[in-house]
Amino acid sequence: STQVCRIRINGMTCTSCSSTVEQALQAMQGVQRAQVALATEEAEVHYDPKILSYNQLLQAIEDTGFEAILIS
């Protein structure tokens, strides 16, 4: 199954920042698709809720050094 969530990410200032976050999300078991947009400071993540929860997505972003807030 697939769940889509949008996450606000604070603190990204360059494309290297957004790439770091995007790659961290894409490396997670259960993430099917992850896009991080620097301009809007948002991530859109397609994931399997049987494998992980959105809290784990937020935690993975925080682990890269940025603040993550669930939008939807």
Starting at the edge strand found earlier in the chain, the sheet holding 42-47 runs 31-37, 42-47, 3-10, 67-70
Nearer to ligand 9UX, 1 or 13 (CB): 13
Pairing relationship of beta strands 42-47 and 31-37 according to DSSP bridges: antiparallel
CB of 17 to ligand 9UX, least distance (A): 3
Nearer to ligand 9UX, 52 or 68 (CB): 68
CB of 32 to ligand 9UX, least distance (A): 26
Strand partners, 64: none
Q: For binding to ligand 9UX (CB under 6 A), which residues are involved?
A: 13-14, 16-17
